[in-house]
Amino acid sequence: MKYSLCIGAYSGKDEIYHLEKIKEHGFHGLEYYAWWNLNDIKKTAKEQERIGVGISATCTKFISLVDESLRDAYLEGIEQTIEACRILNIRSVISQTGNVIEGISREVQRQTMVETLKRCAPLFEEAGIVLELEPLNGLVDHHGHFLQRSDESVDVIDQVGSPNIKLVFDVYHQQITEGNVIRNATGYIDRINHYHIADNPGRKQPGTGELNYIQILRAIQATGFSGFVGLECGYTVDTDIAIERFKQEILSQLA
């Protein structure tokens, strides 16, 4: 498995600083969510080549997937994102789904999402990039978010029927929403493109809460998964210290 940090791990520092730190720690990628905030995409691409580590995932523009009136805007954002990914050599694009729309049935909103994703799929297949849906918890952090459960997310993916439309499984969010983490994190492995990890409660680095990340990561590793696991978390201590503890106390146990 490969490990990534997320932008903001080093507060106030830019993507180049993060990439240098990722290289220093022996990790493999950076999740930089809002690619449109990069000052100079081509310069960042050159710096990636110099450092030897690059951006592993980014996001689409934050446009609802369940609002049919926004479909054209969503597709336009996808086209722009794919072009940015081409320059930066990014192979994973994360999409949130937007919030539930009052007055429209859940089934109609879900089918709107499926139809939009079916229109996106050929674009991602041609580009060799995976679009990842991300269910988020509605109890603590994202009240009203449409997709929250992994089973419903997988059903949407299966309806779309493209190898380039998959899931990012966020262990923190799914622990809050549904529990049963290892069963779901491994049972849906063929629809999962990468993982996010943080502990619960608090959404800080693994080892600070109730989740047994040695067992969780061992179970994911046992499936043969070789993709990215991203530390999408805050830190209770200096970031460098937290990452060294994560490597020593958790990763070292994944034999």
Are 4 and 30 spatial neighbours (Cβ–Cβ below 8 Å)? yes
User: Is the model's pLDDT at 255 over the cut of 90?
Assistant: no
Residue with tokens 């990890």: 197
What's the chain's average pLDDT? 98
103 pLDDT band (50/70/90 cuts)? very high
pLDDT in tens, 110-135: 999 999 999 999 999 999 999 999 99
Nearest to 56 by CA among 101, 13, 1: 1
Q: Full-prediction pTM beyond 0.75?
A: yes
pLDDT in tens, 176-235: 999 999 999 999 999 999 999 999 999 999 999 999 999 999 999 999 999 999 999 999
Note the pLDDT of residue 33.
96
The pair phi, psi for residue 79, each rounded to 5°, is -60, -40
**Structure tokens that stand for 82 in this block:** 């794919």
**Structure tokens that stand for 137 in this block:** 């918890």
Distance in angstroms (rounded) separating the CA atoms of residues 23 and 163: 30
Residue with tokens 């320059």: 87
Note the pLDDT of residue 53.
98
Any residues with CB less than 8 A from the CB of 133 and at least 6 apart, and which? 95, 97, 117, 147, 153, 156, 157, 165, 166, 167, 168
Q: How many structural domains comprise the chain?
A: 1
**Structure tokens that stand for 132 in this block:** 């990842």
Neighbours of 177 (CB within 10 A): 22
Domain CATH for 54? 3.20.20.150
Note the pLDDT of residue 218.
98
DSSP structure class, residue 68: G
Neighbours of 107 (CB within 10 A): 8
Determine the 3-state secondary structure of 113 from DSSP. helix
Find the mean pLDDT for residues 15-35. 98
Are 235 and 205 spatial neighbours (Cβ–Cβ below 8 Å)? yes
Domain that holds residue 186: 2-253
The pair phi, psi for residue 227, each rounded to 5°, is -90, -160
Note the pLDDT of residue 20.
98
DSSP structure class, residue 100: P
56 pLDDT band (50/70/90 cuts)? very high
Nearest to 170 by CA among 216, 135, 145: 135
Distance in angstroms (rounded) separating the CA atoms of residues 82 and 78: 6
Note the pLDDT of residue 155.
98
Residue with tokens 């990534």: 4
Distance in angstroms (rounded) separating the CA atoms of residues 127 and 186: 27
